[in-house]
Each structure stands twice: as structure tokens, then as C-alpha cells.
Structure 1
Amino acid sequence: MSRLALRFCVWSERWFPDAWVFSVSAVLIVCVAALAIGATPAATVKAFGDGAWSLIPFTMQVCYVLIGGHVVALSPPVSRLIEKLAAQPKTGPGAVGLVAMTCMALSLLHWALGFVAAGLLVRALARRSDLPMDYRAASAAGYLGLGAVWALGLSSTAAQFQANAASMSKELLAITGVIPFTQTIFLWQSLLMTVVIVAMSWLIAVRSAPAPALAQTARQLGIDVSLPQPAAARQLRPGERPEHSPWLNWALALLGLAWLWGEFAARGFIAGIANLNTYNFLFLVIGLLLQGTPRRFLDAVTHSVPSTAGIMIQFPLYAGIAMVLTAAKAPDGATIASHLSTFFAGIATRESFPAVIGLYSATLGFFVPSGGGKWLIEAPYVMQAANELKVHLGWSVMIYNAAEALPNLINPLFMLPLLGIVKLKVRDIVGYTFLQFIIHLPVVLLLLWALGLTLDYLPPQYPTNFPEGLKP
């Protein structure tokens, strides 16, 4: 397995394109498809332009997921824990396995926290001169949270989106209703699938790690993993003292905790944490407390901002794609989304729906790299097809969750923040992640199909104030 992974690395160095290429290609393909079904060039262009900025609130929410993860992972208590973890492994493959398990466990809680903590753990392990750990394999293991399981945990954007009526358009709400976490990520089928995928990913990571004689350490790759030297102590000016005192952080965190207490008391913890704004707010409050002082908190935020660049520049493309799919109409009123819904309902049966939609979602992910934003494109026609075929709507969300993570294993967009931490390039790790991909794909599709057979249809559940005339 390790030799196969290395061969994949050689191939990817020569042929693997940039993430931006995938996104722009997706825009062009969707626009051509709109013209092909009869939409006019003017309607297609207008749909793309009108949609480009329609996801700004959601874009900022996803950016704050990254910022919150960085702030918590870079805090002194978490940093000390990382150093203690790094002292445990005795072998290189064992160190790779530790990185993989740490990353996946944390990603189920918070996908950004998972890869940030994993990247820092890889660097801490690489500082050990007595550990012959392959730095590339360990860095690839630090990406398994985003490439395997993140969408099956609490930070699943699709599950959070569907659990909150306020997050959805009235058109989508009419199709799906509100789907609580208990019918998505907390189904026993979802939990079982998560356990299987975590175990499989860990085993592949350990078995594909090169033997000590073939391992390339950070030192051999010319990567400096030494800790930054603390700034020399100096006397603070009066205006600088507040930012080095914990009182402001404590006061702000206390205010935030009071709001969170009221929110969870009124809505319950599960319903409250399902709201992406509440979820981000919680991690920022935790970050304030763990960082201690405003200066450390702001430095951690500054460190996190570069990792949001890909999301900031590419999510407008996603939004434009979504609008072309749903608003660029042919003369008969049909859109690409309606054609897709009819197509999938036509070729799929109730039993084959999970595998068909899973394969489609994974394929689209090659061209539309996403940390959840792709659900906005797929949800209207995927969930409409699920209704027509009487497929459990919560499991339909989980089909997307499991399959949507697969292309992340070979698409470089969400590798970039991790690579910035470990100071590697995409081609250095994608050989290992591609090996994960070719094993994951058939196993995940099989799990989606088999576990889907155990579920009955879940019809839409509408909020009490939803207009009766808009229900299908």
C-alpha cells in the first residue's frame, strides 16, 4: 500500500490541476448545460450574476467555522495537549495513525478544529529526532477529517441547514420540511457508518505509511518545524495593557455564555447547536476563554484568516452555479434542476437511490469543491427525487454527507489551509489521499445502499407557521 501511494504521488505531481480550475470549469459546464436545455444567453448570464452574491451570509458563516477552529486549536491549553500527544507514538506508522484518529475525532465535532489541530500535531511529531515518521503520510492523515467523516458529525452543514427553517428558502422548505439531527446525524445507521469509515480510514493510513528506511522526514524535505521564539519582554505602554489582560476576554465570554445558556434553555442543546450561528458563537466564546488575553485571541484570528481565502473567492461561484441551475429557464419553464430531478427519479428506484445519488454527488464534487456549500446546489432536486421515490429524507441528507466528503480526498481546495500549516504542496500528500479515495468510494456507496434499506419514508415536517398554500 505504501508503494502504491508513492506511485500515486508521482502521477499527481505531473497531472493534478489547481482547485480554481475545478470551480471555473463547473461554472462553464453549467452555463453550457443551461443553453443546451433552451435557456437564452441573457437568462443564463443574469442568473449567474444575480446569484453570485446571494450566499454572502452563508460564506461568512463557513469562514467563521474556520476562524473558530483555529482560535481553539492555537490556544495554550490545546497546544500543551498536542505536545503531550506527540510524545506518545513509538513508531512512524503509529504516529501517522495517531494523527489520523485525532483529526477524525475532532472533525466530528468541528471540521476546522480537526485539521488545524492535526497539522500542529504533525509538526510536533516531526520535531522528535527519535521518530522516523514520513512527514507526507502524516500530513495526509491530518486531512482525513475533511476527506472522510466531517460531514457525519456536528459540523455537517447540510444537516444544520435542514434542521433550521430560517436557513432555507421557502421553495426548499416546501420540499423537505424541517429535518432534526435525530433524523440525520444521530440515526443509528449514521453512527454505524461513521464508526466503519473511521476504522477503515485509520487502517489505510497506518498500512500505507512508508517503512522507516523509506520515510521522508520533515528535515529531509527541508521543512522547518521548530517552534517560533517568543517575543522579547518589554515594558507595555498604558494603551497596550488592556489587550494583555484577561479581564476583557472574561467579560465578553461571560456575556456570550449567558446568551448561550438562554438559547439552549429555550430550544434545547441539540436544536440550538444545529444553528450554524450558535455553533460558531460557541467556539468563539471557548476561544476567548482558552486564549486568555485579547492579544493572543486576535493573533490567533489573524493566523486563521489566510485559510479562508479559498472560500471567500470561490463561494460566489457556487452561488452563481446554484442560481443557473434553478433560475435559468427554458421556454417551457424547465431548469437544469428540474431536469436533474426528473432524470434521477427516472433511473433510480427506492432501493438504488442512495448509490445513484451518492455517486452523482461525489462526481459533482470533483468540479465544485465544497465544505457544505454544494448542498445548496443539490438539495432542491435531490430532495424532490427522494420525495417522489419515498426515500427517508433524513437519510437522503446523510447520502449527501457521506458522498460529498469523498471528492475532498483528491480536490485541493480544502487541503490548502492544512498545507499552509505543514508547509507542503498538494502533490506531496494527494498520493496518500487518492489511495484512501479509491478504497472509500465502493465501501461508502455500499454502506449507503445497505443501511438505506433499513429505513422507511420520512415525509416533510413543516413548522407551524409555514404557509399552508406553499406545501406541496
Structure 2
Amino acid sequence: MTSATEDVRSEKGLARVAQSLAGWTEKWFPDAYVFALVGVFVVAVAALANGSSPQEVVDAFGDGFWDLTAFTLQMAMVVLTGYVVATSPPVARLIDRLATVPGTARSAVSFVAFLSMSVSFLNWGLSLVFGGLLARAIARRTDLRVDYRALGAAAFMGLGAVWALGMSSSAAQLQATAASLPPALLTITGVLDFGTTIFTWQSLLMCVIIIALTVVIAHFSAPRGAAVTTAHDLEVDLDDRPKDVPPRSRPGEWLEYSRILPILAGLMTLGWLVSQLATKPLLTVVSSLNGYLLVFLMLGLVLHGTPRKFLQAVALAVPATAGILVQFPLYAAMAAILTKAEGRNGLTISEHLAEFFTNIGSGGAFTVVIALYTVVLGLFVPSGGGKWLVEAPYVMQSATDVGMNLGWTVQVYNVAEALPNLINPFFMLPLLAVLGLRARDLVGFTFLQFMFHLPVVLLLVWLLGTTFDFVPPVQPSTP
């Protein structure tokens, strides 16, 4: 395998700069959990500087630490359910068939990018594993010589381009679920279902444009000829044969190896889904985070066939949820300090930030500044749902003050939130484990995508934002 220095020297232009940047971040950037810890202390010091007493700060920290317990579990389940569905035998067979479709090396790269983004619209956790397995399946073809790094970067485009514009968007899911919203945020925004966020024509159009742009860049940036680096060159083992489940050894394990219970659970879930669709508006049903996770979890159980195979897949998926489980409580604590610790003038940090963004004014300037702020913060706090809880109280209050549509403000955050993923390798980790690669192998290609995406995203949030009218927040009715 070539050294990191040789990898950089073999690249040209932007890719060479990006490879150097990737090497620097790998050497100097700490784990994302450390960033979250630092964020808590920075916010605490800011609150003290604002005039809050030490007792107010520590009370807000401790009282708010577990505010997002339900949402933390929900986001971990997004990753887990996506992994379980992607590794099921039927999906594995589908991936093998899809791998035979591309006819050229470059079309293979753009094909992976398109499918990873399409799947990401349904579930970003599914997209990571699905895209990685598809890249591996194409790399196993003996009739194509495809750059494995470009394939891997294409598989990441679901997370690097459009994941937050889809149905598993953390911010959109949170805003559509009253029970998961912190009371302070619920008071500002009310409940925003998918009809006001991801299913607006403006958001869908933006998603289509970004997908098309990403596919074109992936196609033309894929190396050809002598510049191609294959999986074999990188010494990556492409053997994806599934591990055999141990045979049943005692009578009590009979149901673990039977398809009866998964089928019954699947039928009950189908019955529940039909009942929901028959009695509630479609957007209310698809906006339900709990319902969304129920369907995906039971789908994984049915696709794996038996409880034993399903649990084997779950065990493999659990490590990918670790970052969410330990980071989100820190984001909850940050949000609590921002919104609850009052300063000497009776204002919280959140209220000061809201005033700052309100002073920017309405229209294109507001959306562009919010997008840029989200990109910069996302480089250091790589968490869509957790970071939204930190930003949302003052961003949404500012949007209300200047008369900006709240649903579009969520989507401005969402489309900007994906951009830092093209530079910060935190969300690449599950994919890198599937691919058997390092972050530096992919960032050369993803950084190139970032250079094109940033100006296009800023232009889109500005132009499309002018088509919205302000709609006052609607509070959920109490039973």
C-alpha cells in the first residue's frame, strides 16, 4: 500500500489540497465527543460572562442533560434500523444485481452516488451501509477497473449531500414530533409536519438539483487509466460472504430459527400502518418518527427471516450508534444552558443570539447567514439532530421576528448541515468500516464536491426563500 505522502503527491489540483487537508485533520482533530465536551464548557463560560451565576449554569447543565433521552434513542434507532435492513439477504441480492448495471468505470461511480442519495432520502443509516456494500460489489467485478476511493466517496454522498432533506432528517423529524421537542423550542415553533419542511416543492426541487450536481461531479472527477486505484491496490479484502448462523443445538431455540414470529410481527405492523393511513392524514403518518422507526425495524426483522439472524445483524449495528448515545446528552445540556441560564440583564445567550440574527433582517441575507453559520458550526459539532437543538431556539426565534417561513428555515439548516460532512470525517466512520478505507482516501473527492456545493446551496436558499410567506407557528392541541 502506498504511503500517505505518496497518495498526496499522486493527486493534482483540488484533490491534492483536499488530501493534504484530510491528513491534517486526521492528525490534529480530536474525536467528535471531545468537541461536544469542549462545546459544553464554552457555552458555560459564555453564560458566566453574560452574568449568569455559577449555580444557574450547573443547574441548567444537570437539569437539561437528559432532556433528549427519547430523541437520542430515536436517532440511534435510525442508524440501527438502516444497518439491519441494508445487510438483510434480499437487499444483499438486490445490491449484487445493481452492481452489474454500470457499463463503464465512471458511470459506476456516478451510479453509486445517485443510488446512495436516493436511498438516503428514505433513511440515512440505510444509505451508508447500502452505498458501501454496492461500492464493494462493483469493485469485485473483473470486467471493470474502477477507482475504489471514488466509489467510496460516491457511497458517502447520501450523507454528504441530501440526507437532511429526506425523511430521516433529524431536524425535520424533531420538529414534527411534539413529544420530542424541548418545551422552550415547542413554544417558539409549534409542530412543523413534513408538509411544511421536506415535502414543500422548494425543498424537493433543491434536493433534485443537488443530486444532479453531485452525480455530474462524481462522474467527471473519477480517475481513469493509470490514475485508477483499485481495491486490490489498496489491499482491501472484498469477501462479503455472510457468516453462517450456528445450527440449532437445543429444543428451546426452535422459535429463534423459525420464520413464524417475524411474519406475525410484520403482519401486525402492516395492519397498524393501514389503520394509521385510513384514519389520519398522510403527512401526519409519514412525519411520525416513532412510526417510521417501527416500520423500518420490523422490515429488518422480516427481511432477515428469523430472530437469530436479525439479532446477529443488530449486534453488528450497535457499535455504529455509540457516538449518538454519548454525545446527544451533551448537546441537550448545551441547549439548556443557552436557553435557561439568564444573564445580568435577564436575557439568556439564546436570546442574545436571536437578537443578533434578527438584526440581519429578512429575505436572502437572513437565509444565507443562517446557512453559513450552520456550515461553520457543523465543522466542529458534527451532529444534525443534536446541533439543531443547540441552534434552533435562537435561529427559529429570529426567523419568527423577521417573518421568515419557519418550515423553510428548517430546510435551510438541513441543506447546510450536510455540507460539513464533506470535510469532517465523523459521519464517514460507519462507511469506512464497511469499505475498509481511511478518511484520507475519500476526502479528496468529497472536498471537491464541497467546493461546488457551497455556492450552489447558498444561491438556492436565497432564491427559493423568496417564494415563501410567513406562517405563524401552530401549537399542538392539548388532549
Identify the TM-score tier after normalising by the shorter chain.
over 0.9
1:4 partnered with 2:14: yes
> Does the aligned pair in 1 maintain the 2:71–2:180 contact within 8 Å?
no
Q: Does 1:24 align with 2:37?
A: yes
C-alpha separation in 1, matches of 2:404 and 2:21? 40
2:6 alignment counterpart: none
Q: Deviations over 1:197-219 (max 9, x none)?
A: 11111111112211131111111
Instruction: Report if the CA contact (8 A) 1:184-1:190 is conserved.
Output: yes
What secondary structure, in the 3-state scheme, does the structure 2 residue paired with 1:329 have?
A: coil
Residues 333-371 of structure 1, C-alpha deviation per residue, up to 9 Å, x if partnerless?
A: 211101100000012333321111111111111121113
1:70 and 1:116 in contact (8 A); partners too: yes
Secondary structure, aligned partner of 2:294: helix
Q: How does 1:14-413 map to 2 (within 5 A)?
A: 14-16=24-26, 17-20=29-32, 21-228=34-241, 230-231=243-244, 236-413=249-426
Secondary structure of 1:54 counterpart:
coil
Q: Distance in 2 between matches of 1:442 and 1:42?
A: 44
Structure 1 residues 25 and 441, CA, compared in 2 at 3 Å: closer, same or farther?
farther
Distance in 2, Cα, partners of 1:341 & 1:104: 33
CA contact (8 A) 2:248 2:254 kept: no
- Does the 8 Å contact 1:5/1:208 carry over to 2? no
What one-letter code is carried by the residue in structure 2 that aligns with 1:10?
S
Amino acid of the structure 2 residue aligned with 1:449: W
Could you tell me how far 1:232 is from its partner in structure 2? Answer: 8.5
Which deviates more from structure 2 when the two are superposed, residues 96-105 or residues 316-325? 316-325
Q: More deviation in 56-65 or 435-444?
A: 435-444
* Amino acid in structure 2 at the alignment position of 1:180: D
Determine the C-alpha separation between the residues in 2 that align with 1:245 and 1:102: 33
CA distance, structure 2, for counterparts of residue 167 and residue 317 of structure 1? 16
Q: Check whether the contact 1:25–1:367 (CA below 8 A) recurs between aligned residues.
A: no
Query: Is the 8 Å Cα contact of residues 19 and 412 (structure 1) preserved in structure 2?
Result: no
Task: For 2:339, give the aligned amino acid.
Answer: T
Contact in 1 for aligned 2:362/2:404 (Cα 8 Å): no
Q: What percentage of aligned pairs have identical amino acids?
A: 51
C-alpha contact 1:100 1:144 (8 A) present in aligned 2: yes
Partner Cα distance (2:255, 2:248) in 1: 13
Contact 1:177 1:461 in 2 (8 A): yes
Give the Cα–Cα distance (whole angstroms) in 2 for the partners of residues 107 and 309 of structure 1. Answer: 21
TM-score (norm 1): 0.94
TM-fit CA distance, 1:290: 1.2
- Cα RMSD, aligned residues only: 1.9
Spell out, residue by residue over 1:80-127, the C-alpha distance to the aligned partner (whole angstroms, 9 max, x if none): 010011112232222111110110000001111111100111111121
What is the CA–CA distance in structure 2 between the aligned matches of 1:100 and 1:299, rounded to whole Å?
29
Amino acid at match of 2:297: L
Q: Residue 101 of structure 2 aligns to a residue in which SS?
A: coil
Taking a change above 3 Å as real, the CA distance of residues 301 and 132 of structure 1, as seen in their structure-2 partners, is same
Matched residue type, 1:28:
F
Kindly indicate whether the alpha-carbon contact (under 8 Å) linking 1:2 and 1:210 is maintained by their aligned counterparts in 2: no
CA drift of 1:462 comes to 2.6
Change (3 A) 1:26 1:205: farther
Task: State the alpha-carbon separation in 2 of the partners of residues 395 and 233 from structure 1.
Answer: 51
The 3 A distance-change label for structure 1 pair 300 and 436 is same
| CA distance 1:331–1:97, change in 2 (3 Å) | same
Cα 1:298–1:134 shift into 2, 3 Å:
same
**Is contact 1:158–1:375 with CA below 8 Å preserved after alignment?**
yes
What's the CA shift string for 1:308-335, capped at 9, x where partnerless? 1111121122112111211222122211
Distance, in Å, in 1 between the alignment partners of 2:200 and 2:349 is: 32
What letter corresponds to residue 114 of structure 2 in structure 1?
A: M
Q: Which amino acid aligns with 1:254?
A: L
Query: Unaligned stretches of 5+ in structure 1?
Result: 467-472
Cα distance in 1, alignment partners of residues 476 and 63 from structure 2: 29
Q: Report the equivalent of 1:470.
A: none
Q: Which amino acid aligns with 2:22?
A: S
Give the 3 Å change call, closer, same or farther, for CA 110–230 of structure 1 in structure 2: closer
Q: Which runs of 5+ in 2 are unaligned?
A: 1-10
Aligned equivalents of 2:201, 2:79: Cα separation in 1: 28
Contact map agreement 1:83 1:124 (CA 8 A) in 2: yes
CA, structure 1 residues 19+444, in 2 after alignment: closer, same or farther (shift >3 Å)?
Answer: farther
Q: SS of the residue aligned with 2:121?
A: helix
Count of residues in Structure 1 that have an aligned counterpart in Structure 2: 466
User: Residues 220 and 163 of structure 1: is their aligned pair in 2 closer, same or farther, counting only changes over 3 Å?
Assistant: same
Offset of residue 163 of structure 1: 2.2
Corresponding residue number in structure 2 for 1:469? none
User: Partners in 2 of 1:129 and 1:381 — Cα distance?
Assistant: 54
Give the aligned partner of residue 440 of structure 2: 427
Rounded to whole Å, the distance in 2 between the matches of 1:451 and 1:233 is: 55
The worse-fitting range, judged by mean Cα deviation, of 200-209 and 228-237 is 228-237
- 1:11 is aligned with what amino acid? L
* TM superposition score normalised by structure 2: 0.92
In 1, Cα distance between equivalents of 2:62 and 2:441? 37
